[in-house]
Structure 1
């Protein structure tokens, strides 16, 4: 396992932790690969009844790391480059960037995200991929992509549409504003607020692990059958739309204006 993500399994609970604390667990190529690999490993890991997904240090995940953001308007990585979030694999409905969020839905057992500090952009989309989200009230959340001249392309539009009213999903996406965990709970993105989300996630995990594993997995299978209809088409649309934006004049301007701390000058 990469040093970006650790997995510890005890008493039927898999503790999956993002471990790039010095960068607020920001997403780089190694983190994308490590998250996807962690999810794939757990699909066949015997004895796991529930997963707790969290971030080490001050934040859950602050989104795409700044070095990657600065480079995103440049030459696109080849589709098979290691850690390239746009890489596709045969038989999947996702590219790598989408898979680090969707893999938690593919797991047969429930996944609880314990969220604190920041969950911005891709970090929020990873949390949305969990079955349940336990979040600190002061957590900074954002559907941040439009700020960078992008669109949510890590299953975010699909998962948002399952959790909140359409107008709320649009407002959060169009404005890219940062909101608190408390507001997230009011909007329906957060399952439960907690001052100690990691501890409370494990308490809930122990409760779930104490139930019949076949029944719990069966219940997740039934919910997934109801809620996953149209996912493949939605993910393909995400890839198409963001492909039009990456490297465009306005997208590059959004990134440069942010780093240069000035008002962006977009063209219509």
Structure 2
């Protein structure tokens, strides 16, 4: 990877870390490139069963590097659909939903603006209670445009989201958790995320991937298409080697041995 994002894979878990700690992992052109590269790399790895996304240093992600943006160095082409239906800035947030495996964000310190939209792309969000958060864009006279509106659908009550977007006010992860914007609170978010990741990695990877596809169908499909997708996924899984191993391992009270 580049000098902004690192990936380490062990036991089916991809440990993805933002490593621009001196700038609180703020988003500059190199960080955008690093995140997009990380997503593309993970898409091609069959040995990955779950991803944990976190930031080194004092923050998860402080949002856009405003100095870089002010100098005209962003290089972002907002009208360009460079990644399917998304531009680059959107893809670094929405691309995590396109991965075939669950993504867990471990959040601490600060998650502002683009940083908050980045964590919104995760399937599960674990945060330190005191984490400072904000949907910050209207503070700068802008709108959230890194996929936030698409990612927030169904995540929290719309009136709460509207207030947070319109006011750009700061809130804590402890406040965000009952709103649905944070899944779990933890004193050590990364350790807690890894615990969840290990549990997911111990399940039939083909079943977990099928569930992720079904959640994607739920986001955009109608009832008929969702029901059909459920049946199709189940038919593929029933009697498959990993499904049989799930049953046998549970009956023998041992850890299953799956094939990716």
After TM superposition, the score normalised by the length of structure 1 is 0.79
Q: 1:209 to 1:87 in 2, by over 3 A?
A: farther
Give yes or no for the alignment of 1:211 onto 2:203: yes
How many aligned residue pairs are there? 222
Asked whether the equivalents of residues 126 and 183 of structure 2 are also in contact (C-alpha less than 8 Å), the reply is yes
Do the aligned partners of 1:116 and 1:197 also contact (CA within 8 Å) in 2?
yes
Name the counterpart of 1:199: 191
Q: Describe the SS at the equivalent of 1:47.
A: coil
Deviations 1:171-215 (A, max 9, x none): 000000010000010211000000100000001000000000000
Secondary structure, aligned partner of 2:164: helix
Quick one: structure 1 residues 183 and 211, their matched pair in 2 at CA, closer, same or farther if it must change by over 3 Å? same
TM (normalized to structure 2)? Answer: 0.82
Q: CA RMSD in A?
A: 1.7
Aligned CA distance change for structure 1 residues 66 and 15 (closer, same or farther; 3 Å): same
Structure 1 runs (4+) deviating above 6 angstroms are none
Cα deviation code 1:72-119 (max 9, x no counterpart): 6xxx97xxx5xx263735561000000000110000000000000000
1:176 is matched with 168
CA distance in 2, matches of 1:85, 1:140: 29
Q: Partner of 2:32 in structure 1?
A: 32
Contact 1:29 1:85 in 2 (8 A): no
Match of 2:226 in 1: none
From the superposition, tell whether residues 208 and 64 of structure 1 become closer, same or farther in structure 2 (CA, over 3 Å). Answer: same
Which residue in the other structure is 2:53 paired with? Answer: 53
The residue correspondences of 1:1-268 to structure 2 (distance < 5 A) are 1-71=1-71, 81=75, 84=76, 86=78, 88-89=80-81, 92-228=84-220
**Structure 2 residues not aligned, in runs of 5+:** 223-260
**What stretches of structure 1 of length at least 5 have no aligned partner?**
231-268
Counterpart CA distance in 2 for 1:27 and 1:91 is 18
* Closer, same or farther: CA 199–97 of 1 in aligned 2, 3 Å: same
**SS of equivalent residue, structure 1 residue 169:** helix
Greater RCO between the two (CA within 8 Å, min separation 6)? Answer: 1
Compute the displacement of 1:157 (Å): 1.5
